[in-house]
């Protein structure tokens, strides 16, 4: 089994509305995401997966959903506060923490992977020193 990793970046703002500190205010990040997939090397292509194809999947899922958006928990409070906001809002069922964003990414990326290729690891950096990681424990 061989693994490959693709790194992407996106810009977004969010607020953690139930946070007892400054993160309850709107603030932005340059998110850096590392996506690792694994599988057997295809004898026709000599690749597990073409990096270009993985990038396209990430463009259609992560980038299209989160890049240059305000990410908010879909709550009555947030919907009231931001009812007149004219920019792009991405609503989440949970607070938009790095951990919950990873949960969303796993469910969005996994079904788009080709047969025989599995999602192994996601690492989402909010800052240069803070990140969350998801790992496939099933293999």
| Closest by CA position to 60, among listed 52, 48, 50 | 52
CA dihedral 15, 107, 122, 119 (to 10 degrees): -170
Q: Is 25 an active-site residue? A: no
Helix (H, G, I), strand (E, B), or coil: what is residue 102?
A: helix
Q: Is 65 an active-site residue? A: no
Given the residues 14, 95, 125, 126, the one annotated as active site: 126
Strands 69-73 vs 89-92: parallel, antiparallel or unpaired: parallel
How many CA atoms lie less than 13 Å away from 138 in the CB half-sphere? 2
Given the residues 68, 77, 93, 99, the one annotated as active site: 68
Q: Give 32's strand partners.
A: 9, 125
Q: Is 126 an active-site residue? A: yes
Which residues are annotated as catalytic? 23, 68, 126
């Amino acid at each position: 089994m061989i693994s490959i990793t693709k790194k992407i970046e996106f810009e977004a703002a969010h607020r953690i509305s139930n946070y007892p500190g400054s993160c309850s205010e709107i603030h932005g990040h340059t998110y850096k995401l590392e996506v690792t997939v694994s599988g057997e090397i295809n004898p026709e292509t000599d690749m597990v997966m073409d990096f270009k194809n993985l990038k396209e999947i990430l463009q259609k899922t992560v980038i299209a959903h989160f890049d240059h958006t305000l990410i908010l928990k879909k709550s009555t409070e947030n919907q009231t506060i931001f009812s007149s906001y004219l920019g792009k809002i991405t609503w989440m069922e949970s607070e938009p923490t790095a951990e919950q964003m990873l949960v969303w990414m796993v469910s969005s990326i996994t079904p788009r992977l080709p047969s025989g290729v599995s999602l192994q690891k996601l690492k989402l950096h909010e800052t240069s020193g803070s990140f969350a990681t998801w790992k496939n424990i099933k293999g």
